[in-house]
Structure 1
Amino acid sequence: MTGLEGGLAPLLAWLAEHPGWAGAVIGLIAFLESLALVGLLVPGAVLMFMAGAAVGGSNLPILPMLLWAMAGAILGDGLSYWLGWHFRARLRSLPVIRRYPGTIAQAERLFYRHGGKSVVIGRFVGPVRPVIPAVVGMLGMPPGRFLLANVSSAVVWAPAYLLPGVVFGASLILALEVMGRLMAWLVILFGGFFLLRWLLPRIDRPLRLAGHRLARALGRRPPTSWRWLGLRPLHAPLRALRHRGGWLWWLAVVAIVFSAGHALLGASPQGWERGLVALADAHRSDLVRVAAWRVTQLGGLLPVLLAAAALAGFLWHHHQPRRALLVLAAVVLAAAGAYALKAGLGTPRPQGLSEGADFIAAFPSAHAAGIAALVTAWVVLLPIRGRYGRRSVITLGLVIGLGVGVTRVVLGVHWPLDVVGGLGLGVVCGALPGLAGSAERVSGHQSLAVLGSALVLVMAATLTEVTHWPDPLEAYPRGAQVPEIAADDWWVGAATLADRRLGLGGRRGWFTAQWLGGEAMPTGFDAGWQAPPRWRWSTTLRWLSPQPSVERLPVLPRWHAGRLPDVVRIQPAAEPGMRLVLRAWRGATTAQGPVWLVWIETVTVRGGVLLPRLTRVALDQAGREAVLGRAAERSALQRRDDRVPRYAPASLAAPD
């Protein structure tokens, strides 16, 4: 151990006693390790391992530590890049740099060979790690490109350098037990990432080449035969296949056809749609509801039409009448198409909202269609230079469009496929200025037009929020609450509760029982049942063990109506590697206490190749009778036989 490492060893031991400072110290180590000049002197890999060992040995939460390490690495590389950008050639004359001339030369060769990827590679390569950001800044790498490489590499670097120490600190025996599989997973993840980076250009290039060939075959103008066959409108979209944007346009067409086909022919909504909407209902607090309602106003009909009119007016003023008319036509066509499909298909909204006066049919989402059409028109019209500038604008457009679309699901007024169909319809219509308006030259004035249109959109959405018109907050449903019912009504069946569990993927099996008794947990299940191990890094890593012990593994999550269970208990079974898992949700509240929805299943865990083999099976009839009978006897509850049996105190369970 060097003098520096030995001097820091007491500091790392002190972190175990003062966990509040752990994140700041880890961030400082990552910052210094990534900082130009200083990083050449600091043994960052050793210090990060020791810090991870201190975290693992202290059972500190690992996620905040990872975030601190990522932040420190990003700031260190960012400052190094700024130093290179600021000093340029003078960087070579600094005293510390002169001591490592080979390192600078190696970093330059890495940059000339790999370009922007050199920042990612250099993060993991010995002596050039703290130097490569300064070198790429000195050689003039664009800031946006560096920022993307800096953040993405830090997200991978922090766990790669910190987690081995965490594993070691959590338990030496556990570290030796799972290290092989942990390394195997890291190799798979890194290999998959680089395979994807290698594969995507090799898929993209043939597709664009095929688009170029098709464009040359079709020519600049549609063939005469197409005009007579009514295929002329397809000419521009087919020629657009020579660009990635053209492929996105056809992908939007596929999204419309797919989602509309499900709305028209399939069982609508799908099970996974019900699960996601239930998740949104369960977690829609008043704060989330208000925030989502404010964002969703960006897709309202009035703000979108006003923004489109402002954009068209600006283009008309700058002598681009064709594009101005196309912008208006694109947004109006998207809105009109959405409302026409609503009227024609008549698909119901969640919670029966379409039966009231505030909402019409669900498919497709008019908010998603309107904002997607407007944003797509912005992207098409902006005079973008450079590959990364176009990617940035397209990414921003996706964030705005998807943001409004997601709020429709968060607010519980649309199914997910309604949003998919609306976004697809908006993209298809919004691309009209680009598909049909290419005869007019793109000018710099269009940037001001798009900026003015965006300002009008924000102002109109703000006005809608202030006036609560024409889209008031009061029309949107509040979050789902546990209902309050009369125990007598529940017992005789007048007030029904869920008989089947609604998971994130849709309806699942029948509940084991409905149980009235117990405040903190269902009464009668205290003897023989115990709390499972909590999710910590040490318990999570046990899932990588070649010979997992079922008693030491935390319980995997299950949802009902968007909620995780209020109570989870486990009980070892007679067969090795098997346990019973009890989950209970508060289904309703009564004057006698909550009615619990009880789900009990048998879980078997066996060793696997990279992960354990997990089998989860609902209790059979004999198992249910045995488990429920013992608990009911201990708590003096009576049973009423239904498809899902009900258990209640004898005072309530009087004969009919």
Structure 2
Amino acid sequence: MSSLESALEPLFEWLSVNPGWAGVIIGLIALTESLALVGLIVPGAVLMFLAGAAVGGSNIAILPMLLWAMAGAIVGDSLSYWLGRHYRDQLRTLPLVRRYPQAMDRAEELFLRHGGKSVVLGRFIGPVRPVIPAVVGMLGMPPGRFLLANVGSAIGWAPAYLLPGIVFGASLALAMEVMGRLVAWLALGFGGFLLLRWLIPRIDRPLRLLGNRVARAIGRHPPPGDWRRWLHGPHAAVRALRHREGWLWWLALLGVIATLSRAVLAPAPAGWERGAVALFDAQRSESLQAFAWWLTQAGGSLPIALATLALAALLAWQGQARRAVHALLGVLLAVALGLALKHGLGLPRPAALTGTAGWSGAYPSVHAAAIAALVTAWLTLLPLSARGPYRGLMALAGVGVAAVAGSRLVLGVHWPMDLVAGISLGVVLGALPALAATGKRRPPRFPAAVGVSAGVLVLATAGAAVLDWPDPLDRYPPGSPWPEPAGQRLGLAGPAAPFVAVIEANDWQPPGPGWTSPPAWRWQSALRWISPRPDAARLPVLPRWHAGHRPDHVWISVGENARQRWVLRAWQARADDGERLWLIDLERAVIKPGVLLPRLRRYRPDPAQVDALLASPASSRSWMPPKPPLLMTTTRSPG
């Protein structure tokens, strides 16, 4: 250990006593370790290991420390990139750089060989790590590509450098027990990321080549003649297969067909949809409901109408009457077709809202269709020449559309597939301005019209929320603070196993000795799930939900076999008359060693075990569901 590391040992001891400063210290270490020039003399890997050991030996939460390390690494590399971009060739003349010419040469060679991937690779190569961001900035790497590589590599770098020290600091025995599998999981994660980076271009290129061949097969120009004008749109849509945006349009069309077929053939919501809606109902506080309601106003009738009219009016004023008509027509068709499907299919909404207080059918979400159509029309009217900024705008637009559509799920008024159908319908019809521009060689450039329309949408959304009109907040259903009393548990994946009993009592505890609380979910206990020798008494219980609620009480009972335990969960519910009920779930879990994760098998109890469990004088059984047959399931994920 160097003298610098020895001098910093008291700092890490103080860190365990003052956890409030832990994140700041770790962020500063990550920043200096990644900073150009400074990182050449700072032993960052050793310091990060020591910081992780200090965190592991205390009760400091791991996730904030990882976020601090990621933030420090991102800021450090960004500063290094700015130095290289600002000083260019003058960077080599700095005194500290002249002392390490090999690092600069290796970094430049790495960039010339691997391009943007060098930022990711350089993050994990010691001598090059603090130099490669400055070199790529000096050699002119675009800021957008650097930021993407910088953030992506920092997400993998922080756990790789902190977790070994954390595990070591928590327990030497635990470190020796799980270190091999932890390294294996990190290697799998990093390898999966590299495989994805390698695979995506090799999928994208054949698709675009196929699109080019199809486009050449149908011809460069649509069929001539006035009576064949109806072929212009399909012709442009097929030729759009040459570009990624065109494939997205066809994917949206496939989404419309798939969701419509499902709505006609299987109109009932899937189990996972019921579980998702129940989860948001359970988590929807007044503040979350108000925030989601503000978001959902952006897809409301008044803001969408004003923003669409502003877009069409400005396009017409600029002499683009045809594009104005198609932009207006695309949004109107999305809304009109969505309303027609609502009334024609009449699929029920969550919470039995259909037909009450002005609520129509569920499928599709007209809010999602309207905002997707308008945003798609915006994107078709923006310059296409600068591909990098345009793709950034597409990503930003996608996040905005997903947020507005997702607010309908948070508010509990739509099923997830309604949102998929609405977004797909909006994208398909919102592309009408692009289809109308077929045959035009110059790309459309109407950022002023798009900017004015976006401004009108924001102002109209704020006005509708402030005025509480025409879509008032009080028409939306409130959250559900209590799970519904039912004979069957509703998990996140849909209906699950029946409850073994429903008990009426003010409070309920499992009778008899042997029932204890399971280990709490902390990162130390979570690591035991990757141990090659699992111990049922030391493993935290995998989470379960009923109607979006976690159980109020969880107990375990471990016998002589260290790999078996009984798990008992109890949800508190309210009957219609206000009485307190307890929904009881009981299972026997058998945990065996696996390759990278333990093998977990769950068994339903037999009636005799249930009767013994419920033999409590302090409670009265108000209802008992039919005894299910013995059931065995194999799973590794929460239900």
Q: Deviations over 1:345-379 (max 9, x none)?
A: 11111111112133111100000000000111111
Quick one: distance in 1 between partners of 2:465 and 2:512? Answer: 51
Aligned to 1:416: 416
Matches within 5 A, 1:603-614: 603-614=589-600
Quick one: distance in 2 between partners of 1:332 and 1:119? Answer: 46
- Does the CA contact (< 8 Å) of 2:221 and 2:439 recur in 1? no
Provide closer, same or farther for how the CA distance between residues 604 and 352 of structure 1 changes in structure 2, counting only shifts above 3 A: same
Aligned to 1:508: 496
Quick one: distance in 2 between partners of 1:22 and 1:386? Answer: 43
Find the residue that maps to 2:57 and give its secondary structure: helix
Matches within 5 A, 1:325-404: 325-404=325-404
- Does the CA contact (< 8 Å) of 1:308 and 1:374 recur in 2? yes
Aligned to 2:455: 455
Q: Aligned residues, how many?
A: 627
Q: Deviations over 1:300-357 (max 9, x none)?
A: 1221121111111111111212111110111111111100111111111111111213
Aligned to 1:654: none
- Does the CA contact (< 8 Å) of 2:303 and 2:456 recur in 1? yes
- Does the CA contact (< 8 Å) of 2:501 and 2:624 recur in 1? no
Aligned to 2:181: 181
- Does the CA contact (< 8 Å) of 1:482 and 1:589 recur in 2? no
Quick one: distance in 2 between partners of 1:278 and 1:368? Answer: 20
Matches within 5 A, 1:568-607: 568-588=554-574, 594-607=580-593
Aligned to 1:653: none
- Does the CA contact (< 8 Å) of 2:504 and 2:622 recur in 1? no
Match for 2:602 among 601, 616, 626?
A: 616
Aligned to 1:652: none
Q: Deviations over 1:509-560 (max 9, x none)?
A: 11111122343xx134473210100111211111111110111000000001
Matches within 5 A, 1:503-582: 503-519=491-507, 522-525=508-511, 527-582=513-568
Aligned to 2:65: 65
Task: Determine if the alignment matches structure 1 residue 47 to structure 2 residue 33.
Answer: no
- Does the CA contact (< 8 Å) of 2:503 and 2:621 recur in 1? no
Aligned to 1:498: 486
Match for 2:625 among 622, 643, 653?
A: 643
Matches within 5 A, 1:124-163: 124-163=124-163
Aligned to 2:112: 112
Find the residue that maps to 1:551 and give its secondary structure: coil
Matches within 5 A, 1:103-252: 103-223=103-223, 233-252=233-252
Quick one: distance in 1 between partners of 2:203 and 2:254? Answer: 19
Quick one: distance in 1 between partners of 2:18 and 2:469? Answer: 53
- Does the CA contact (< 8 Å) of 2:502 and 2:623 recur in 1? no
Q: Deviations over 1:15-44 (max 9, x none)?
A: 122212111111111111011111000010
After TM superposition, give the deviation of residue 440 of structure 1 in Å.
Answer: 4.3
Quick one: distance in 2 between partners of 1:36 and 1:285? Answer: 46
Quick one: distance in 1 between partners of 2:543 and 2:300? Answer: 37
Provide closer, same or farther for how the CA distance between residues 593 and 364 of structure 1 changes in structure 2, counting only shifts above 3 A: closer
Structure 2 residue runs of 5 or longer lacking an equivalent are 628-639
Find the residue that maps to 1:478 and give its secondary structure: coil
- Does the CA contact (< 8 Å) of 2:500 and 2:624 recur in 1? no
Quick one: distance in 2 between partners of 1:114 and 1:274? Answer: 47
- Does the CA contact (< 8 Å) of 2:380 and 2:444 recur in 1? no
The one-letter amino acid of 1:314's match is L
Quick one: distance in 1 between partners of 2:169 and 2:295? Answer: 45
Matches within 5 A, 1:282-361: 282-361=282-361
The one-letter amino acid of 2:448's match is L
The one-letter amino acid of 1:14's match is W
Quick one: distance in 2 between partners of 1:421 and 1:176? Answer: 50
- Does the CA contact (< 8 Å) of 2:556 and 2:568 recur in 1? yes
Provide closer, same or farther for how the CA distance between residues 231 and 82 of structure 1 changes in structure 2, counting only shifts above 3 A: closer
The one-letter amino acid of 1:236's match is A
After TM superposition, give the deviation of residue 574 of structure 1 in Å.
Answer: 4.9
Normalising by the residue count of structure 2, what TM-score does the alignment of the two structures yield? 0.94
Find the residue that maps to 1:560 and give its secondary structure: coil
Quick one: distance in 1 between partners of 2:226 and 2:266? Answer: 34
Task: Determine if the alignment matches structure 1 residue 75 to structure 2 residue 75.
Answer: yes
Aligned to 2:17: 17
- Does the CA contact (< 8 Å) of 1:380 and 1:431 recur in 2? yes
After TM superposition, give the deviation of residue 442 of structure 1 in Å.
Answer: 5.1
Quick one: distance in 2 between partners of 1:92 and 1:428? Answer: 53
- Does the CA contact (< 8 Å) of 1:318 and 1:445 recur in 2? no
Provide closer, same or farther for how the CA distance between residues 419 and 84 of structure 1 changes in structure 2, counting only shifts above 3 A: same
Q: Deviations over 1:149-207 (max 9, x none)?
A: 11111111100100011111111111111111111112211111111111111111111
Find the residue that maps to 1:470 and give its secondary structure: coil
